[in-house]
Structures are given as structure tokens and as C-alpha cells.
């Protein structure tokens, strides 16, 4: 049973528009969430994170929103750029366990 779900395998967005990637989780004990970005032939790289004590964290063009009651987080990229085309993974850090739990990833394609 997947504890972290990214239900959209892929997403296509026009350059300059907003990209919204979604992630749902099932365990209310998760207290820290991360987004990673992965290019082909490279390892995932850390992008942005959020603690459960916050509902928003912003870093430049990237903003992560956390809705604890809905067990949902989203990553907003605005404006989207061609270099944002990659696979994005959502991950959660359980309070009692230091292993990250990973979603299956969403492939973002930015169209020129």
C-alpha cells in the first residue's frame, strides 16, 4: 500500500505558465515533506521541503503548500521554464522513522 501517492504520471505545461504537481499521503504521522527533481541519467536532487508546522514554503519560483487536514501537498512552479522539464518526486519523513517514503514521481514537460 503506497503511503505517498503522486497520481499524475505526467504533466504538460506551457512555458511561462504555472506548473502544479500534487502529492497525497496517508499517514498523519508524517511531519516533514520534500520534493526532489530528477533529470535523465542523473540522481534526484533536493528541491524544496516543508515541515508540518507550516502550510507554505517558498524558494524563488518554487512554492510548496501543505494541507494537513487533506493530507495533501503541492509544488507550484511559476513561471515554468524549459529547464524545469524533469521527473518530480514527493517524499515524506515519518516522525518515528528516519527513512524517507517516496512517491512514484510525475514527469513534467514544459512546452515552448
Partner 1 sequence: DADVTQTPRNRITKTGKRIMLECSQTKGHDRMYWYRQDPGLGLRLIYYSFDVKDINKGEISDGYSVSRQAQAKFSLSLESAIPNQTALYFCATSDFISGQETQYFGPGTRLLVL
> Which backbone phi and psi does 84 adopt, to 5 degrees?
-80, -10
Task: Round to the nearest angstrom and report the end-to-end CA distance of the chain.
Answer: 37
Q: Which residues face 103 on adjacent strands? A: none
The Cα–Cα gap between 10 and 108 comes to 6
The region of 12-20, 54-62, 64-72, 100-108 touching partner 1 under the rule CB under 8 A is 100-108
User: Which one, of 15, 24, 33, lies nearest residue 78 by Cα?
Assistant: 15
- Among residues 32, 35, 75, 108, the one that binds partner 1 under rule CB under 8 A: 32
* Nearest approach, Cβ of residue 38 and partner 1 (Å): 8
Residues 40-99 that bind partner 1 (CB under 8 A): 41-46, 49, 51, 89, 91, 93, 98-99
Judged by the rule CB under 8 A, the positions of this chain that interact with partner 1 are: 6, 9, 31-32, 34, 36, 41-46, 49, 51, 89, 91, 93, 98-100, 102-105
Amino acid at each position: 500500500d503506497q503511503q505517498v501517492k503522486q497520481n499524475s504520471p505526467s504533466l504538460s505545461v506551457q512555458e511561462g505558465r504555472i506548473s502544479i504537481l500534487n502529492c497525497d499521503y496517508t499517514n498523519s504521522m508524517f511531519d516533514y515533506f520534500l520534493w526532489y527533481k530528477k533529470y535523465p541519467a542523473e540522481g534526484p536532487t533536493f528541491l524544496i521541503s516543508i515541515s508540518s508546522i507550516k502550510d507554505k514554503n517558498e524558494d524563488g519560483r518554487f512554492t510548496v503548500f501543505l494541507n494537513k487536514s487533506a493530507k495533501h501537498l503541492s509544488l507550484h512552479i511559476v513561471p515554468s521554464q524549459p529547464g524545469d522539464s524533469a521527473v518530480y518526486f514527493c517524499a515524506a519523513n515519518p516522525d518515528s522513522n528516519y527513512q524517507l517514503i517516496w512517491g512514484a514521481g510525475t514527469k513534467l514537460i514544459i512546452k515552448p
